[in-house]
Structure 1
């Protein structure tokens, strides 16, 4: 139960609901097996699996742990194309004519429908941390699109959920560039790692590097040429390390050794469910504290008003 990635969202005007009501609503949209014709499906799944007795919601000290199960059939385009090509060849040989583009499109749809039930199913569990005291949600996935899928599911489940991506007064790309170019600007508790990505304003491409001296003259020359940092490895006082992205996503999360040791020495009596809950409490506490510190270094949070889109119900 240690998140690897984090996409953060601010909630607005959250409707008060009991934990029992939320758990019931989640259960009503629980994950179901894919049907033969389904390409993908997403639904809620118990965070602790069978250990939690099927409980969809784990409330722990003002934080909620929720998990979505995303299922997707993998049907390679090359397999479909090969099958379509064979059918096209058969038709052209037997009927002595060229198959039209419209017919090829119809054949592709037919082949996809026929092969879909036999396609390999990939399942991905996506955990969600809901800080009810801070009105903030964090989704444990490397993909912004997957995070949005989970939020859409939560909106549909609850009937209404106003959420906007967390944003800061100072753009992350500007702050990261400043930290790289001016060592004196770096917060005292912030250490720079050796993994970065620099983007050029024009068409000069992207520079990526690991294990380099960030204060070297070569780095300063790149920055002076107008490149900006879109990704940068950071560490906060040994408590949390991550790669900060220009959309404020935190990826490749690693929690400090002291926190991991605290979790390892917790008295859970070898109870797997108690261990999961202990890990989540410690992790959520660390994330809350360090996200707030990061926001401070980025000039504070930007107040954004959510748009009424995606079929969202107005309160």
Structure 2
């Protein structure tokens, strides 16, 4: 089980629940399909997706969870078309214009009629918690989806004291320096030939480079115009490639041959064993990648974090 994106959260104090409590609370919110009149439903499911499997998949010090989401697919264009048909029928029969309020009521009526007949789309969103080291990783590149999962988990547990890691150096400034060779990236990080630069201010401009080296003269010109790196592709220790954004989101993660060889060497058989082996290999590497990334940007500002000792005091 390898994530394609890494969205990091830091616990601001020791994880306020244990494994048994997490399992119990998630089981109380088991996923159930949408009712006929429901547009969307969220619920917890086993990460392995096997009957009777626990809601928290444990591998060493890591706890994986899975939020299942089902949505009814009802295109707005279909609703609008039906509303217009019904409005036209009323206008023809009553010889008057349909008001805005009436159209709004028609929209609700049409939606109620069409929802039970609509198709559904079901997706699974994965995350794992490392309570020992105080962080959480989500397999998403979307801040909206990250907020959806963490909000649902907070509702289930009653408390979820997390925040996005606070860096001592802004990623945009440092990635710009690396790309323009004003500074060198840390050991283990290699810049790949894919970059996205943007300008600040109200009128933003974007320049993208892919599959080509950017000349220093061109970069200096971009910098003079106020461009900074928003996204930069990297390879890390010949194990992972990814695109890092200026909000510290890690996207398009690809585990390279060295990692695939590790998975093959486990000789895991069956879906459950392969899932467990993949999760273990991924989590151990992310356990090394996260501090490497934090250190690359001058370390993490931990002044607002509460340690175990402070919590016990």
TM-score higher than 0.5 here?
Answer: yes
Contact kept? 1:14, 1:161, Cα under 8 Å: no
Aligned to 1:285: 284
Aligned to 2:103: 104
- How do residues 138-177 of structure 1 correspond to structure 2 at under 5 angstroms? 138-177=137-176
User: What SS does the corresponding residue of 2:252 show, helix, strand or coil?
Assistant: strand
Contact kept? 1:240, 1:290, Cα under 8 Å: no
User: What SS does the corresponding residue of 1:150 show, helix, strand or coil?
Assistant: helix
CA-to-partner distance for each residue in 1:113-156, whole Å, 9 max, x for gaps? 21112222111111102111111001101211111111111111
User: What SS does the corresponding residue of 1:166 show, helix, strand or coil?
Assistant: coil
Paired with 1:246 and 1:42, the residues of 2 have a C-alpha distance of: 30
How high is the TM-score relative to the length of structure 2?
Answer: 0.92
Q: What is the deviation of 1:20?
A: 2.4
Paired with 2:136 and 2:200, the residues of 1 have a C-alpha distance of: 32
Q: Which moved more, 1:114-123 or 1:225-234?
A: 114-123
Aligned to 1:201: 200
Contact kept? 1:195, 1:232, Cα under 8 Å: yes
User: What SS does the corresponding residue of 2:147 show, helix, strand or coil?
Assistant: helix
Paired with 2:158 and 2:239, the residues of 1 have a C-alpha distance of: 37
Aligned to 2:257: 257
Paired with 1:207 and 1:304, the residues of 2 have a C-alpha distance of: 36
CA-to-partner distance for each residue in 1:183-214, whole Å, 9 max, x for gaps? 54322321111121111124252112211213
How high is the TM-score relative to the length of structure 1?
Answer: 0.92
Aligned to 2:113: 114
After superposition, the Cα gap between the structure-2 partners of 1:138 and 1:233, relative to the gap in structure 1 and judged at 3 Å, is same
Paired with 1:153 and 1:14, the residues of 2 have a C-alpha distance of: 19
RMSD (CA atoms): 1.7
Aligned to 1:3: 3
Q: What is the deviation of 1:167?
A: 2.6
| Structure 1 spans left out of the alignment, 5+ residues | 307-315
Aligned to 2:309: none
